[in-house]
Amino acid sequence: MKFAFKQADGLLGGISLLAQDLDITLVNDHADVVVSVEERGKDILSVTLDGRCARIVYGGGKARFFRGLAFLVDAVKRGEKTYTLSESPIFKLNGAMASTGGAVMKVSTVKTMLRKMALMGLNMYMLYTEDTYEIEGRPYFGYMRGRYTKEEIREIDAYALALGIELIPCIQVLGHLASHLKWDAAAAYRDTASVMLVGADETYRLIEDMLKTVKECFTTKRVHVGMDETKDVGLGTYLKLNGYRPQEDIYFEHLGRVIKMAEAEGLEPMMWSDMFFRLAGKDLSRLNDYDMRVEFTDEIKAKIPKGIQQVFWDYYQEDEEYYRVNLKKHHDLFGKKDTLFAGGIWLWSGCGPLFERSVRFSIPALNVCREMGVKEIIATIWGGNESDLILSLAGLAWYADYEYKGGFDLDSAKECFRVACNADYDDIMKTELCQHPNGDLMSLSRALLHNDPLIGLVDKHIRDLDTVTYYKNACEKMMSHGHLGIFAEAYDVTLKLTSLLENKANFGVRLKAAYDSGNKEALLPFVTECDVIIEKMRAFREAHYKAWMLHNKPFGWEVKDIHYGATIARFETAKKRIAAYIAGEIDTIEELAEERLYLIDTPNEDDRFGEMFLWMQFSKYATAANLL
pTM over 0.85: yes
Average pLDDT in the 489-507 region? 98
- pLDDT, tens only, 180-204: 999 999 999 999 999 999 999 999 9
pLDDT at residue 628 tops 80: no
Rg over CA atoms, the chain: 26
Section 39-53 average pLDDT: 96
In which band, very low, low, confident or very high, does the pLDDT at 600 lie, cut at 50, 70 and 90? confident
H/E stretch holding 128: strand 124-128
The answer to whether the beta carbons of residues 59 and 89 sit under 8 Å apart is: no
Residue 603 has pLDDT above 90, yes or no: no
Q: Which domains does the chain have, with CATH numbers?
A: 2-87 (3.30.160.230), 93-421 (3.20.20.80), 431-622 (1.20.120.670)
b/e burial code for range 597-618 (CB count within 10 A of at least 16 → b): ebbeebeeeeebbeebbbebeb
pLDDT at 335: 78
d(CA 513, CA 463): 10
pLDDT band at 274 (very low <50, low <70, confident <90, very high): very high
What would the mean pLDDT of 577-586 be, rounded to a whole number? 98
- C-beta contacts of 153-161 below 8 A and 24+ residues apart: 153/127, 153/217, 153/218, 154/217, 155/107, 156/107, 156/110, 156/111, 156/114, 156/127, 157/217, 157/218, 157/219, 159/17, 159/111, 159/114, 160/114, 160/125, 161/219
Interhelix angle 410-421/62-77, rounded to 10 degrees, is 90
**pLDDT band, residue 257 (cuts 50/70/90):** very high
Question: What's the CA angle centered on 103, arms 101 and 109, to 5 degrees?
Answer: 120
Q: What is the per-residue pLDDT for 614?
A: 84
- How many angstroms separate the Cα of 597 from the Cα of each of 399, 451, 589? 42, 13, 18
Q: How far apart are the first and last CA of the chain?
A: 59
pLDDT value for 357: 95
Residue 311 near residue 289, CB atoms below 8 Å: no
Count other C-beta atoms under 10 Å from residue 53's C-beta: 11
Instruction: Find out whether 157 and 218 touch, Cβ atoms under 8 Å.
Output: yes
* Average pLDDT value for residue range 459-474: 96
Q: Cα(143)–Cα(180) distance, rounded to whole angstroms?
A: 8
- pLDDT tens figures, 128-162: 999 999 999 999 999 999 999 999 999 999 999 99
Question: Which stretch of DSSP H or E encloses residue 322?
Answer: helix 320-334
CA distance to 438, 460, 530, per residue, from 596 (Å):
19, 6, 21
Task: Check residue 103 and give its pLDDT.
Answer: 94
| Average pLDDT, rounded, for the chain | 96
